[in-house]
Structure 1
Amino acid sequence: MNEAVVTVRGVGKTYRLYRKPSDRAKEALSIRRRKYHQDFHALNGVDLVVHQGETVGILGRNGSGKSTLLKILTGVTPQSIGEVEVRGKVAALLELGAGFNPDMTGMENIYLNGTMQGLSRMEIEALIPAIVEFADIGEFIDQPVKTYSSGMFVRLAFALAINVDPDVLIVDEALSVGDIYFQAKCYRKFEDFKKAGKTILFVTHDMNSVLKYCDRAMVLDHGVKLGEGSAKEMVDLYKRTMAETNGARAEDVRAHSAEGAWKEEMVVNTSAQDYGDGRMRIVDFGSFDDAGRIGQSLQKGREFAIKMRVSVLGDVPEPIFAMTIKDVKGNELTGTNSRLEMLDLGPVHGGMEFMVEFRSPMLLQGGQYLISLGCTSYDTSGELLVHHRLYDIFSIYIIASKFVVGAFDMGMGMSVDRTR
């Protein structure tokens, strides 16, 4: 195994929170050492080891301690307890504004950041063409950074981070503000870094990116490490954590389900994640071919359907029925829900039952895919409520006689005409 380049042992970070600014002075001057603050533990006993060449994702809700951990790793913030060791040159793209002087131009900030990385002026000047080309912000490179849009700023920050040839690249969620083309450009650079044996540590809410690019991942919640493992395992844990926050509870896949005719004909994933608050339950499900026959082998190019039967056990103002299809690596490829389809279903009440059908031509490449089903809604504050979810509950196998590039066959035609 490659050597460890990032080692975190029992790291904690505690902030003192004062109700008002004057309390800080009162505490400092108190003869009896009266305490005027409350301790807030942003991180508590976190361990992590990242080896050379690994790409590791950090997942967690806002306030979970993700950004605090990255700041500790980059030396921006000291830890309160624990040990941190980072080997090699580190380049970091943290939240917008970190490490930049807003009154200086983009070009001046290139020199500033290069100097902070220990580069000589000659070395910085040699990197400028590549930085300017990758950032692609035109004449704004000579304008003060405070005049930049968030997208322009992240372009320059990322261009700087990758062109100083770091051993470890640390990326916070700042990439999410870039346009889709620049994000694609950045992820291609991630691939180059991985091939070059660089180490990447990044925080993102884009779970598909974690599944695609990360060798491993870690989930933080309220400053505590909930888990560490494969990207798919941690994405599933993160999803479950978010649902459990809304009062959901984990349950066995067959528990509390009414007898169902469809699923008895299916090969069901008995270790599927099955949870929800119980106000709705998916009591039956299945996949069907273009002739309406139940089965898990489907023909590419033909119609297919995913069906589920739902029992309502409590009041739900506006239910959402959902289905997603993922590849075996856990990447969500496609799916839809009743909200996206603009179906007005609510309100619904206990005792009601629904038969939900998702129908489409099968455009996926030949291979095996995972099906997830769900019943959710939003409360008045906009928080997602999970009533019942079945993650990776069964798989379908697509039979194809022709393959194309990518996950989908769009029915693309091709012609070649000799012109000379």
Structure 2
Amino acid sequence: MDNVSITVNNVSKQYKLYEKPIDRLKESLHPLNKKYHRSFDALKNVNIELRRGETIGIIGKNGSGKSTLLKIITGVLSPTSGEVIARGKVSALLELGTGFNPEFTGMQNIYLNGSIMGYTKEEMETRVPNILEFAGIGDFIHQPVKSYSSGMFARLAFAVAINVEPEILIIDEALSVGDFVFQNKCYLKIQELQKKGITILLVTHSNQQIIKYCDRAILLNEGNVIEDSYDVERVVFHYEELMRNVNHSSNEDSEQSYHAEVNPVQANEEMNEHRFGTHTAFINDVFITSKEGVWEDDLILKSGSLVRLKIAIVAERIFESVVIGVSFKDVNGVVLWGDNSLEAGQSISLKKGWNYFTFEFNMIFSPGEYLLYLGLADISTEPRVELDQRWPVKKINVISTRNMAEGYIYAPAKLFID
């Protein structure tokens, strides 16, 4: 057991949910112990053993129990049943605000967190310069933290967490609010802590961060551990399957392998899609894959790989000349890349019924999440007629074993020393 940092032994957490606030009082006073609540199991008999020096990523849908598990490990919550044994000093960076008094200044909160960790004021005074240098929030350190932006809060919280010499560091999504430069600074520090043999428990929705920084990944769903493996990429792949509610299967390379079923011409509410056009011809399905001849999405795409965008279009009549356009944007709506059939030198028409097209290109994006936009227009008349515009039609997830220093384009450089 000397090499085990944390043992989670048969831990469950159950919440009582009440329809109205008064129901809690009625239940406590009822002479016959009538129940006014319904039970919700946030965690169900979870068993995990975390070894010293490992970096473990915990992933899962919202509501799967990730944050509840971390709060139980850190002692913020008590389990309904089971136990957690932590062997070493735990420093936690949970959701913004945890462990900080909003009325205190940043400096006062530094000393508050130090005292919680068991340090004296004198011991914390030796750590304050490093904390201030890493946080980089200047004179705001003397202002109440309730006036901080989320990014400033994250800077200070992370600086405190890493400077109290933890043996176990727990991070729950708190770094997602920082700017790019600060996030990069944090992950460089995480790599430094990894070399020192610190056990790190990381919760993030970034598949790339899990793949790059974690030795092991744990997938939670509805309070259960459904996968725990050192094959991190496989766990991430299964997480994407879970997120998209798909069963992975393979198809043969033919139009007949595509299940030609007309979908309702309506916007995808999950994507908050803006869809418009005459819909006398419309984009019925679109798949993006690195596999040749497969009419299904790759759950994860890899930077630099050759990908195929396969589009199935249904037309009510013959169209002599149409244009199909594709573009990718980041989550803020910035256009990163786009192309269309005209620029590709292709003159295309539509026959009545089913029509199939494939764009083929290199995945030039660095790791991250991107939005796919598609458009179909009739250009046989002047002015052109919009047939089906889908903004955006779906999200893609790109990973790589190599990050870029900055930017969206994946173009790994080689350095030569002359």
TM normalised by structure 2 equals 0.69
Q: Is the 8 A contact 1:285 1:309 kept in 2?
A: no
1:246-257 equivalences in 2 (<5 Å): 248-251=246-249, 253-254=250-251
C-alpha displacement at 1:64, in angstroms?
1.3
Is 1:358 equivalent to 2:361 in the alignment? yes
- Once residues 197 and 349 of structure 1 are traced to their aligned partners in structure 2, the CA distance between those partners, rounded to angstroms, is 64
SS of equivalent to 1:192: helix
Separation in 1, partners of 2:102, 2:126 = 24
State the 1:320 CA deviation. 10
- Show the 5 A alignment for 1:187-266: 187-229=187-229, 230-244=231-245, 248-251=246-249, 253-254=250-251
Distance 1:114 1:212 in 2: 31
- Structure 2: which amino acid aligns with 1:231? V
- Counterpart in the other structure of 2:110: 110
Aligned-partner residue type, residue 236 of structure 1: F
* 1:339 CA drift (Å): 9.4
- Once the two structures are superposed, the pairs formed by residues 10-409 of structure 1 within 5 Å of their partners are 10-229=10-229, 230-244=231-245, 248-251=246-249, 253-254=250-251, 286=292, 306-307=307-308, 310-311=311-312, 341=338, 351-358=354-361, 408-409=411-412
Structure 1 Cα separation of the partners of residues 244 and 134 of structure 2? 39
2:248 partner SS: strand
On the 8 A contact 1:258/1:283 being kept in 2, the answer is: no
> Per-residue CA shift, 1:126-178, capped at 9, x if unaligned?
11111111111000111111111111111110000000000000000010001
Contact 1:282 1:311 in 2 (8 A): no
Over 3 Å counting, the alpha-carbon distance change for 1:282 and 1:206 in structure 2 is: closer
Match for residue 399 of structure 1? none
For residues 123 and 42 of structure 1, what CA distance do their matches in structure 2 show? 38
| Closer/same/farther in 2, CA of residues 306 and 103 from structure 1, 3 Å limit | closer
Distance 1:226 1:321, change over 3 A: farther
Aligned to 2:387: none
User: Residue by residue, what CA displacement relative to the aligned partner does 1:18-75 show, whole Å, maximum 9, x if unpaired?
Assistant: 1111000100011111110011111112221110000000111211111111000000
User: Helix, strand or coil for the counterpart of 1:341?
Assistant: strand
Could you tell me how far 1:352 is from its partner in structure 2?
A: 2.2
Report the identity percentage: 43
> CA 1:340/1:63 → structure 2, altered by over 3 Å: closer, same or farther?
farther
CA RMSD of aligned residues (A): 4.1
Deviations 1:94-132 (A, max 9, x none): 001000111011111111110010011111111111111
Partners of 2:49 and 2:42 in 1: CA distance: 20
- Paired residues in the alignment total 331
Alpha-carbon distance between aligned partners in 2 of 1:282 and 1:42, rounded to the nearest angstrom: 35
Amino acid at match of 2:240: K
Whether the 8 Å CA contact 2:55–2:215 is kept in 1: the answer is: yes
Q: Offset at 1:254? A: 3.6
